[in-house]
Amino acid sequence: MRATGRIATLMMHTSPLDQAGVRDAGGMNIYVVETAKRIAKSGIAVDIFTRATSAALPPIVELAPGVEVHHITAGPFEGLTKEDLPSQMCTMASELLRVEANHPRGYYDLIHSHYWISGQVGLLASQRWNVPLAHTMHTMAKVKNRALADHDKPEPAARAIGEEQIVAGSQALIANTDAEAANLVSLYDACPDRVHVVAPGVDLLHFSPGGGRREARIQLGLNKDSLILAFVGRVQPHKGPDVLIAAAGEMVKHDPVLKSRLEVLIIGGVSGGDGEEINRLRTLAKFLGVDELVKFIPPASREHLPHWYRAADIVCVPSHSESFGLVALEAQACGTPVVAAAVGGLRTAVADGFSGSLVDGHEPRSWAAVLTRLLDEPQRRISLSMGALEHARRFGWEATARGTIDIYDQLLAEPGLAVRSLA
């Protein structure tokens, strides 16, 4: 049956088929996939366009009923980093327009782009197809540059300029939180009427307490008596894994007995193929005398990731900025309290004092104090675990999809833009 509408979703710099935690794949990949699946269930077809990274990839892959991933050729299949991709934006736009030209006029009702590279391509396609453009930033150059981590590279001026153009040319900007919406208005001069807030969600069936911590540790081969702190995500300075390692160093320095029980798990892959980052972290751990406590775990598949969340006593999210922080929400849905930096969307993802703790700044001693106190108070962790489950239940991908569709309908109801309502 013909769907009641069709959306072109642009996700050019990383594929929705990639595993989160590997290279440049992260929370945005999960966001796009989970939202698309639920939008399609409402009767709206979603075509996700991404850059092909291998000649062996089929042109079209069905991700779920009503959701197709379209691979477009733009530049060499391999060898391009995310930083190289802006040079291929013209080719991406050309290939996208070529694909659409094979369909009847009005085939797509609306374009939804994710991240600034896709937004630049979306601006051109929106003008050519005479359809509205909705854009989700996920991260912003001006925000990231205000909170750079040590050893992190600032975002180039070209990105900030590109984001300004997207803000000016989009018919809707979808933010994850009120804080992100405020940044769009204050830092990018976005029109408040064009900024909408739709919180990301979590798959509450997949991410759940399951059999609990003991069973998870048995399945993963972890010591049932250890005190485990876990970091999950891409291993890059921006995500702050060094903060957790340095905090562990402070913890065992003040309590040497803790060294016999503490384990720090760094679960994830390096971003952009920068293998030196893990070497830097290993060197830091050795310098601090905690190299035996710190274990680097390859990125976990979505199937096995809940086991890692359940196995941890505390999941730590020491990012220097986050538009939301899906890791924090997934961990809480598994019943594990979260200690996170009090930045960006993490202030929404974690209910301070109820489902976890928020830490101001990234000073290792501050983190060590918070973590030590929680490890010393098992009853407090149980209370936070219960709060984590309750807090996570407030978020669901169905609500994210519904909120997104409502924005689509608002755009298509505007004079001069409407093709038809998607409701």
Write down the pLDDT at residue 416.
Answer: 57
Structure pTM? 0.89
Is residue 160 within 8 A of residue 181, CB to CB? The reply is no
Write down the pLDDT at residue 150.
Answer: 82
pLDDT in tens, 275-330: 688 999 999 999 999 999 999 999 999 899 999 999 999 999 999 999 889 999 99
Which of 42, 12, 18, 44 lies closest to 30 in space, CA to CA?
A: 18
The span from the CA of 333 to the CA of 354, in Å, is: 13
pLDDT in tens, 253-262: 999 999 999 9
Q: What percent of the chain has pLDDT over 90?
A: 78
Pairing of strands 227-232, 133-136: unpaired
Sequence-separated (6 or more) residues with CB below 8 Å from residue 363: none
* pLDDT for residue 19 is more than 90: no
Tokens 């900025």 sit at which residue? Answer: 321
Write down the pLDDT at residue 1.
Answer: 25
pLDDT in tens, 64-107: 999 999 999 887 777 777 777 888 888 899 989 988 888 888 89
Phi, psi for residue 47 in degrees, rounded to 5: -105, 115
**Amino acid code (one letter) for 410:** Q
Write down the pLDDT at residue 59.
Answer: 92
pLDDT in tens, 21-42: 666 667 899 999 999 999 999 9
Sequence-separated (6 or more) residues with CB below 8 Å from residue 270: 23, 234, 235, 236, 277, 278
The dihedral through the CA atoms of 147, 339, 232, 248 has a sign that is positive
Write down the pLDDT at residue 85.
Answer: 84
Higher per-residue confidence, 19 vs 322: 322
Sequence-separated (6 or more) residues with CB below 8 Å from residue 94: none
Write down the pLDDT at residue 15.
Answer: 85
Write down the pLDDT at residue 273.
Answer: 53
* pLDDT for residue 2 is more than 60: no
* pLDDT for residue 368 is more than 70: yes
Averaged pLDDT, 139-146: 93
> Which DSSP category does 235 fall into?
B
Write down the pLDDT at residue 363.
Answer: 97
Write down the pLDDT at residue 250.
Answer: 97
Distance of CA 310 to the CA centre of its chain: 20
Is residue 363 within 8 A of residue 149, CB to CB? The reply is no
Write down the pLDDT at residue 8.
Answer: 97
Domains by residue range for the chain, with CATH = 5-201+397-412 (3.40.50.2000), 212-392 (3.40.50.2000)
Is residue 122 within 8 A of residue 10, CB to CB? The reply is yes
